[in-house]
Amino acid sequence: AAPAGAAAFSLKHTEAVSVEVEAAGCTEAAPADGGRRWPLGKGTVLRLGMRQASAEAGDNKVTVSYYGEGGQAMDQAGVFLTGIARAARPQGSWTWGPEGQGAILLVNCDRESP
C-alpha cells in the first residue's frame, strides 16, 4: 500500500523489465528512468514482465517512488526480479537458495477479466 498522504508515484526499472501502468482506463509503458509520474488512484494496476532471462538471481529491479500533494518525495518500495527462460529444464528439477532449498515463485500473468 502507498504511504498515507501520497498523491502520486513514479517507477524506475532495469532495462530487462517491462512495466505498464493502467490508470483511469489508459495503459502506457513506464519509462525506465522514472521520468513520468502518475496520480495514485483506486484501480491503478502495474504489470511487470521480463524481456529476457536473468543472468543471476535478483539482477533486475523495479522501484516505486511515492510523492505528496506538493511533489515532495515521501517513500520508496522495490521488488527484485529473476526471469527464467521458457525452455528451462523441467521445473521438478529446479533448485534454488542455500543448499538447493528455497522458494520458487511462478507468476501467471494472464488476465482473468477485463
User: Could you read off the pLDDT of 63-109 as tens digits, one per residue?
Assistant: 999 999 999 999 999 998 888 776 655 656 666 666 766 555 656 55
Place of cell 483511469: 24
In contact, 43 and 73? CB cutoff 8 Å: no
User: Alpha-carbon distance 57 to 55, whole Å?
Assistant: 7
37 or 103: which leads in pLDDT: 37
The pair phi, psi for residue 92, each rounded to 5°, is: -60, -20
User: Could you give the domains of the chain?
Assistant: 6-83 (2.60.40.1860)
* Contacts for 112 with CB less than 8 Å, ≥ 6 apart: none
Q: C-alpha cell of 65? A: 517512488
Indicate the burial class of 11 (C-beta count within 10 angstroms; 0-12, 13-18, 19 or more): buried
In contact, 16 and 40? CB cutoff 8 Å: no
Q: C-alpha cell of 36? A: 513520468
Name the pTM for this structure.
Answer: 0.74
